[in-house]
Amino acid sequence: MWDKLKNDKFIKMLLSKLITVLVVASIALLLFDVLTKSNDGRRQIVDEDGGSEYIESEEDLANSRQEARLKDILSDIKGVGDVDVMITYKKNEKTASVFNEENNNRTSEVEGVIVTARGAENIIIKNSISNAVTAVFNIPSSNVVVFEKN
């Protein structure tokens, strides 16, 4: 029976089409994987509504949590109101001791902060926001910019 199936042209044609479909599907999956990665290694995911978001690394998640905490703290200050925060980081590479297992330990240092707040039209509130941010991150006030929110 096996010999009969080996010589059947229909079975050979069906098998070749099946192999072709499998090869095309595997190439499509590889392309999808390559095209959804950004240059920094994060994966882009498209939501149901067409928006996209990135799966963040642990460092990015920690930075997002830091922004959220600062936003919560600033919004609790009297007169500030609704707040949005953006923190920029500069990367520092520290080389560890020869006896330490990790040779390169990357840390993020806050470089600058942008704050938008409803109460920022008041110069006293704006100054309070700037002072709070400079105190939290130990950065000069020239690296903190506060804007009035629409």
For 100-131, the pLDDT digits (tens) are 555 445 557 889 999 999 989 999 999 999 99
Among 39, 44, 41, smallest CA distance to 54 is for 44
Are 68 and 137 within one domain?
Answer: yes
Return the higher-pLDDT residue of 11 and 85.
Answer: 85
Q: Answer yes or no: do 86 and 68 share one domain.
A: yes
Average pLDDT over residues 17-31: 93
Count structural domains, the chain.
2
Tokens of 14: 């069906």
pLDDT at 142: 93
Mean pLDDT of 84-90: 90
The reply to whether 11 and 31 lie within a common domain is: yes
Mean pLDDT on 77-81: 91
Q: E strands along the chain, which residues? A: 43-46, 52-55, 83-95, 104-117, 144-148
The structure tokens 């939290």 sit at 136
Q: What is the span of the domain harbouring residue 26?
A: 2-53
pLDDT band for position 136 (cuts 50, 70, 90): very high
Highest-pLDDT range among 23-37, 45-59, 115-129: 115-129
Contacts of 102 (CB under 8 A, 6+ apart): 96
pLDDT above 70 covers a percentage of the chain that reads: 72
